[in-house]
A and B are shown apart, each in its own frame.
Chain A
């Protein structure tokens, strides 16, 4: 099949190009997009992309597949592209490209770090674990599973526009993961850190984040909860 790959090596290329490569797909197999890339790299070792677990849990191979952000390793060809059509692979949009499909994720990580993504609890820790009811623990489902692949934030127009000031769906999902954790005692401090016109409120409810999340998570809903908490704080 024909695969069109975004190519850019700053050492040689003045500007990026889309390069077509013919890849032999084994008969009767529905390969994942990452498998196709691996086959392409066997032909041309200069093609560059990130990958690690190849099973959708490490978040390395977020990329733009025929116009939609997703993970190469769990996107089957049958889902990515109609029979007979070209597979088109581009880097995640909105972040600087380092080379080929590899983007510079610094600003994405910086926004993640801004929400202080660690548990804060100012009471002395017990000799065993802190207790938490099954109902309270269930509040973290749909939040803690994030793999930081950046598919959501790089599909978000508000993040494209203000990547330095709007935390973006991934960071905000984590902000809510700690706000929702009954073991965390820093809600007031956390909310104060988010209370400005950009950090949260630049979300316009476009919901691209929800439609692309490869783990089926819902950052828009989490952002809604944060808004409600900010309003309830009366600030």
Chain B
């Protein structure tokens, strides 16, 4: 091990998406030696695929808009297990974070008065649900994620962030005191393994939608941070909460933005009926995503789905007119023509609920510090480890994320973690040390893989994993099915332990990366399965046939999955915002 190269930084951010690059920018601007490890060139991270926008009360569409209204919507959207201190922080800091992005050059669409254009999205209201639909989602046409990610990359270039592009972090290095000291990473191009030391390690590794067979997520969304955290023994929060986006293109899984419905599009069944009028009489197609996705599945189950198999519904946009579609939704026209072979100007788009977002993740506080519990169940930060963005569960999304809140989460908490680390570094945060055996421990997985001589292939095992998750842990769930799913996962685990890497070469070996990713996918899938089975109620995205009601008496709390004994515990939700009154749980209807 002593021959392995070491490099060290003040801060290392794992992941070059929106959250990672916002954190990196904060630190690089203050002159700290900051590196971003990214398994793809940063602008190829999944943030680039975000379409509709970034929800924030900047008071452009409505000069009287108020971040507290946004907070109300977000708490309600979360089905009351979003942490209210974190939601308060996100909604109140949001405008500043968005204006900073604009000052950096983000090419937002504009209103007639030259301000940032805002469009309506699902679950948005004025005046605490009493003032009708709000338009709060700031947009750069339907390419907001692309515009945001490129702007952040540009900002980091300007501030000399070090990019370890096409490097892949395999595991955390933890010392005997339980401090996180850095990560082991592979330079994909050369195959060299390097110990990347840092005073602060930030996981901004995004989601893991690839645990499902049908997902809007990029091929790179494999839960690498979650996998590394669980292998290091750290707990995961609310892993049963997965968002199924109502409008993934049927057959392809690519996303069409909720902005389509925000701009006036709506869903129809095979009879041409606008069925959301029955499920959400007030806001119809702009109800929460969990509500719309479930309504779609019910339509199909009751025989009103479209197509020969009745396995999708249609999103109608043609009534908006070609000019509006060209101006507001140009990317959607492109995607529909390419992947659905339909022209939305003339015909509806076939859509189906598709796995989209991981509400759960590594539990953190508002400063991005990753949290664990000691033996007595007392909560404490993990020294040296931070998490932001989809990889983290701070938790602003609770049981269901509102559209447009993910991009806001990225920049608000990327910035917050950056600021907190900045402060710690200014106060003299020191590099913790690791012994050779600590590093060897982190290397063991890689070593095992490199020495494999026989076993099964990655694509086969990956496909089976995705099928199990799709079949047993989808939009609707049931105890006995989930128990069966968990058993199947355990059988699969043994086969994955025996995975065979046939290509042992060093140069740009993507087969090795995919094998390492598969283990992360598995960790996330198992955490999801066990957490889902353990929550006997229906809340937000977690809908159970055998427990159809929300159970506030017993389950108005986070779930906490402990990977070492594979048990699920509970963690209290924060109901104590600092500047506003608590939003008390009530019946959630749209």
Enumerate chain A interface residues (CB-CB to B < 8 A). Answer: 9-12, 41-42, 45-46, 48-60, 74, 76, 98-100, 102, 105, 109, 113, 116-119, 121, 125, 127-134, 137, 140, 144-145, 147-148, 178, 181, 183-184
The interface centre, meaning the residue of A53, A60, A117, A127 with most chain B CB atoms within 10 A of its CB, is: A53
Q: Find A118's partner among B110, B111, B143, B158 (CB 8 Å cutoff).
A: B158
Is residue B71 contacting chain A, with contact meaning CB distance below 8 A? Answer: no
Per a CB cutoff under 8 Å, which of B46, B58, B219, B255 touches A51? B219
Give B102's nearest chain A residue, CB to CB: A129
Q: Decide yes or no whether B354 CB sits under 8 A from chain A.
A: no
- The distance in angstroms between the C-alpha atoms of A71 and B508, with both chains bound, is 20
Q: Using Cβ atoms and an 8 Å threshold, which residues of chain A touch B114?
A: 131-134
Report the count of interface residues on B (CB-CB < 8 A).
58
Quick check: A11 and B49 within 8 Å, CB to CB?
no
Selected from A48, A57, A183, the residue in CB contact (under 8 A) with B48 is: A57
From A41, A46, A55, A59, B43 is in contact (CB under 8 Å) with A59
Question: Cβ of A45 and Cβ of B508 under 8 Å apart?
Answer: no
Q: List A contacts of B41 (CB < 8 A).
A: 60, 105, 109, 148
* B158 touching A53, Cβ below 8 Å: no
Q: Which of B110, B146, B511 contacts A145 (CB 8 A)?
A: B146
Contacts of A128 on B, CB cut-off 8 Å? 58, 95, 99, 115
User: Contact residues of B with A, CB < 8 Å?
Assistant: 40-41, 43-46, 48-49, 58, 95, 98-99, 102-105, 107-116, 140, 143, 146-147, 150, 154-155, 157-158, 189, 218-220, 254-255, 331, 334-335, 338-339, 457-459, 502-503, 505-511
User: What's the Cα separation between A53 and B147 when bound, in Å?
Assistant: 15
Residues of B within 8 A of A54 (CB): 218-219, 254
Does the CB pair A147–B43 fall under 8 Å?
Answer: yes
Residues of chain A with a CB closer than 8 A to B110's CB: 132-134, 137
Candidates B44, B115, B331, B506; contact of A131 at CB < 8 Å = B115
Shortest Cβ distance from residue A114 to the other chain B in the assembled complex, whole angstroms: 11
Residues of B within 8 A of A178 (CB): 105
Contacts of B150 in A (CB 8 A): 144
Central interface residue in A42, A52, A59, A76, by most chain B CB within 10 Å: A52
Find the B residue at minimum CB distance from A215: B334
Chain A residue contacts of B338, Cβ below 8 A: 55-56, 74, 76
Query: 9 new A-B pairs (CB below 8 Å) besides A52-B44, A99-B508, A102-B508?
Result: A53-B44, A53-B48, A58-B45, A58-B46, A113-B157, A125-B99, A125-B103, A129-B102, A181-B107
Minimal Cβ-Cβ distance residue in A for B255:
A55
- Which 9 pairs across A and B sit closest by C-beta, in order of nearness? A119-B105, A131-B114, A118-B154, A129-B102, A58-B44, A45-B511, A99-B508, A118-B158, A53-B218
Bound together, the chains give a CA A226 to CA B105 distance in angstroms of: 20
Chain B residues within an 8 Å CB radius of A99: 507-508
Q: Shortest distance in angstroms between A155's beta carbon and chain B's nearest beta carbon? A: 19
A10 / chain B contacts, CB cutoff of 8 Å: 507
Query: A59 to B218, alpha carbons, bound, how many Å?
Result: 12
Contact A45 B155 (CB under 8 A): no
Inter-chain contacts of A9 with B (CB < 8 A): 505, 507
Q: With both chains docked as a complex, state the minimum distance between the C-beta of B323 and any C-beta of chain A, in angstroms.
A: 14
User: What is the bound-complex CA distance between A130 and B58, given in angstroms?
Assistant: 13
In the complex, what distance in Å separates the CA atom of A58 from the CA atom of B146? 8
**Is the beta-carbon distance between B218 and A48 smaller than 8 angstroms?**
no
Q: With a CB–CB cut-off of 8 A, which chain B residues contact A46? A: 502-503, 505, 511
Cross-chain contact A45 with B220 (CB below 8 angstroms): no
Question: A-side binding surface: helix, strand, loop or mixed?
Answer: loop
Whether A129 contacts B509 by the Cβ 8 Å rule is no
How many Cβ-Cβ contacts under 8 Å join chain A to chain B?
A: 146
Contact, CB under 8 Å: B44 / A11: no
Residues of A within 8 A of B46 (CB): 52-53, 58
Point out the residues of chain B lying under 8 angstroms from A131, CB to CB: 113-115
A-B contact pairs, 9 of them (CB 8 A): A48-B510, A50-B40, A55-B338, A105-B41, A113-B157, A118-B158, A128-B58, A134-B112, A145-B146
In the complex the two chains form, what is the Cα distance from A121 to B335 in whole Å? 35
Q: How far is the CB of A179 from chain B (nearest CB, A)?
A: 13
The answer on a CB contact under 8 Å between B104 and A129 is no
Determine the distance from Cα of A48 to Cα of B109 in the docked complex, in whole angstroms.
38
Q: Is the CB of B508 within 8 A of A119?
A: no
Chain A: CB-nearest residue to B103: A125
What CA separation (Å) do A121 and B40 show in the bound complex? 30
Closest CB in chain B relative to A119 CB, distance in Å = 3
CB pair B511–A118 under 8 Å, yes or no, is no
Point out the residue from B49, B107, B505 that lies within 8 Å of A137, measured CB to CB. Answer: B107
A10 to B506, CA, bound (A): 10
Contacts of A145 in B (CB 8 A): 143, 146
Shortest B351–chain A CB gap in Å is 15
How distant is the Cα of A100 from the Cα of B112 in the complex, in angstroms?
50
Q: Which residue of A lies closest to B189 (CB)?
A: A98
Chain A, Cβ-Cβ closest to B163: A109
Instruction: Tell whether A130 pairs with B40 under 8 Å between CB atoms, given A12-B505, A46-B511, A99-B508.
Output: no
Q: Which residues does chain B contribute within 8 Å of A60, judged by CB atoms?
A: 40-41, 44
**Do B218 and A52 touch across chains, with their CB atoms under 8 A apart?**
yes
- Known contacts A117-B157, A118-B155, A130-B103: A147-B507 contact under CB 8 Å: no
CA distance A52 to B105 in the complex (A): 25
Q: Which chain A residue has the least Cβ–Cβ distance from B500?
A: A45
Residues of A within 8 A of B115 (CB): 128-129, 131
B109 adjacent to A137 (CB under 8 Å): yes
Residue pair B49, A48 in contact (C-beta under 8 Å): no
**Which residues of chain B are within 8 angstroms of A119 by Cβ–Cβ distance?**
103-105, 154
* Closest Cβ–Cβ distance, residue B567 to chain A (whole Å): 35
**A57–B507 CB distance below 8 A:** no
Cβ–Cβ contact B116 & A11, under 8 A: no
In whole Å, how far is A228's beta carbon from the nearest beta carbon of chain B? 22
Whether A58 lies near B459 (C-beta < 8 A) is no
- Cβ-closest chain B residue relative to A11: B505
Residues from chain B with Cβ under 8 Å of A137 in the complex: 107-110
Docked CA distance A10–B500 (Å): 23
Q: Which residues of B are found within 8 Å of A148, using beta-carbon distances?
A: 41, 43
Give CA–CA (A147, B458) in the complex, Å: 30
A50 to B46, CA, bound (A): 14
A56 to B147, CA, bound (A): 15
Judging by beta carbons under 8 Å apart, are B507 and A118 in contact? no
Partner of A48, one of B107, B112, B509: B509
- Closest chain A CB from B527 CB (angstroms): 24
Contacts of B508 in A (CB 8 A): 48, 98-100, 102
CA A106 to CA B191, docked complex, whole Å: 18
